[in-house]
Structures are given as C-alpha cells and as structure tokens.
C-alpha cells in the first residue's frame, strides 16, 4: 500500500502573496494533505498577528480541500513530526534562496531523517515577489494588485490607511 504524502509549508506569510498561493496550489496537487504552517516568532515584528495571518490564509485557501492552516513555534521538524508529516515543502525564487534553503534542508534531514524536503521553483510571474517587498510597496501607497490575493490587498490597504481605503 503506497504511503500518503503529508507535507507542511512553513513560513511567516506576513502577508500572504500570490507567490505563496502558487506554491500551495502546485504543492497541494502533489500532496495528499498540505498544512500551511504559520510561524509564531516573537522576535520579529510582523505587520499582522498570527491570528490575522491564519484567518487570511484560511480565507484565501478555502477552495483547496486538502489544505489546512495551523501555526507553530520552535523547530519545523518537531511540528512536522507532531502533524505526522513526511515532507516539508519550500519555494525557491533565486540562487540566494537555494543556498539558504539547502542549508535548512540539510539541517532538517539531520534532525529528522524521515522528513524529506521538497523544493518547488517559483513561477516566472512570481519569482521576484516577497512579503517584504509587498509590505514596502503597500506602505508607500503603491498598488499591490496582482501581487496578493484581493482579500489580502484589502487587509493591507486597511492596515496602512487606518481603514480609510
């Protein structure tokens, strides 16, 4: 009997972008179950709270029946084991991403040999996209249309204009 593929896709998702959505859409087609795992990191100063990011992700990911959203803190591999995941999904945009992600994958393999890392390359349309860049553009009043799902665009406008969008 073939083993099912349960993957986690960890990240801060602050905010959720169309690049994330692309990786999730393609990853959910590969996995039997995909868990979008939002990192709780108190040392960073996120734009949105973990609870807000969970709500936004659930709203955007509602069409994907095999995708769930959760949050975690600590080691990714510990969360993977807790969830019964046998894979970690990661998106790669450029060579710099690969170098960082390779180091993380090798450390994760050392810590949890049974959990494999799967790399998906970013689509051409989203290869330049990062949450940091989206926040910067939105904070300066620029348009993020097409860079984030419409529901996230509204949340960004509200956050940066104080609700006067």
What's 51's domain CATH number?
3.40.50.620
Q: What is the mean pLDDT of the chain?
A: 93
Which residues are catalytically annotated? 20, 44, 93, 131
Residue 136 placed within a domain? no
**Nearest residue to 11 (alpha-carbon basis) of 71, 94, 86, 84:** 71
- Say if CB 89 and CB 20 are below 8 A apart: no
The total number of structural domains in the chain stands at 1
pLDDT at 94: 85
Angle between helices 95-111 and 76-83 (to 10 degrees): 60
Residue 61 placed within a domain? yes
pLDDT at 165: 47
Higher pLDDT, 42 or 15: 15
**Residues with Cβ < 8 Å from 82, sequence gap 6 or more?**
72
Domain that holds residue 62: 6-125
**Which alpha helices (DSSP H) does the chain contain, by range?**
18-30, 50-61, 76-83, 95-111, 131-139, 150-161
Q: How far is it, in rounded angstroms, from Cα 87 to Cα 91?
A: 13
Residue 160 placed within a domain? no
Q: How many CB atoms lie within 10 A of CB 106?
A: 11
Residue 21 placed within a domain? yes
What global pTM score does this model have? 0.92
pLDDT at 96: 81
pLDDT beyond 90 at 1? no
pLDDT at 163: 63
Residue 43 placed within a domain? yes
pLDDT beyond 50 at 142? yes
**Nearest residue to 17 (alpha-carbon basis) of 137, 162, 140, 158:** 137
pLDDT at 2: 66
Residue 38 placed within a domain? yes
**Residues with Cβ < 8 Å from 123, sequence gap 6 or more?**
19, 22
Residue 148 placed within a domain? no
**Nearest residue to 36 (alpha-carbon basis) of 98, 158, 14:** 14
**Nearest residue to 89 (alpha-carbon basis) of 52, 160, 80:** 80
pLDDT digits (tens, 9 = 90+) for 54-107: 999 999 999 999 999 999 999 999 999 999 999 999 999 988 889 999 999 999
Residue 164 placed within a domain? no
125: left (phi over 0), alpha (psi -120 to 50) or beta: alpha
pLDDT band per the 50, 70, 90 thresholds, residue 164? low
């Amino acid at each position: 009997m073939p083993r099912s593929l349960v993957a986690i896709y960890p990240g801060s998702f602050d905010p959720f972008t169309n690049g994330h959505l692309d990786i999730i859409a393609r990853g959910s087609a590969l996995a039997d179950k995909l868990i979008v795992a939002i990192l709780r990191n108190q040392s960073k100063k996120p734009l949105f709270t973990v609870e807000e990011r969970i709500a936004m992700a659930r709203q955007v990911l509602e069409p994907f029946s095999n995708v769930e959203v959760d949050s975690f803190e600590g080691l990714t591999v510990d969360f993977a084991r807790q969830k019964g995941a046998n894979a970690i999904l990661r998106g790669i945009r450029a060579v710099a991403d690969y170098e960082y992600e390779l180091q993380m994958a090798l450390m994760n393999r050392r810590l949890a040999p049974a959990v494999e890392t799967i790399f998906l390359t970013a689509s051409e349309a989203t290869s330049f996209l990062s949450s940091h860049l989206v926040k910067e553009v939105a904070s300066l009043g620029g348009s993020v249309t097409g860079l984030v799902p419409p529901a996230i665009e509204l949340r960004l406008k509200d956050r940066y204009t104080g609700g006067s969008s």
